[in-house]
């Protein structure tokens, strides 16, 4: 029973990490699109600043997921 609980941690953490990774890729693609669109420096800076909170959230989600995986492996 105990191993099954920590298996949920592993798979849940892996899915959180993948969701965070997908968010990071989305942020990268969004900034690349803004760079290619020929915006002025101020407009590009504003576009990057709009993406920054999403980037930090995706990074946080990925880190939490990796922590859950490590917990599941360590205690399982």
Q: What is the pLDDT of residue 4?
A: 82
Neighbours of 71 (CB within 10 A): 14
40 secondary structure, DSSP code: -
- For the chain, 76 residues long, the average pLDDT of each consecutive 10-residue run is 82 96 97 93 95 97 96 90
If one counts every other C-beta atom within 10 angstroms of the C-beta of residue 68, the result is 21
> Rounded to whole angstroms, how far apart are CA atoms 27 and 24?
5
pTM: 0.85
Say how many C-beta atoms besides its own lie within 10 A of residue 43's C-beta.
12
């Amino acid at each position: 029973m105990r191993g099954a609980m920590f298996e949920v941690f592993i798979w849940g953490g892996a899915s959180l990490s993948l969701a965070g990774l997908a968010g990071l890729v989305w942020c990268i693609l969004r900034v690349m699109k803004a760079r290619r669109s020929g915006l002025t420096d101020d407009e590009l800076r504003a576009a990057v600043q709009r993406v920054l909170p999403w980037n930090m959230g995706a990074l946080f989600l990925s880190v939490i997921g990796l922590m859950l995986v490590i917990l599941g492996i360590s205690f399982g």
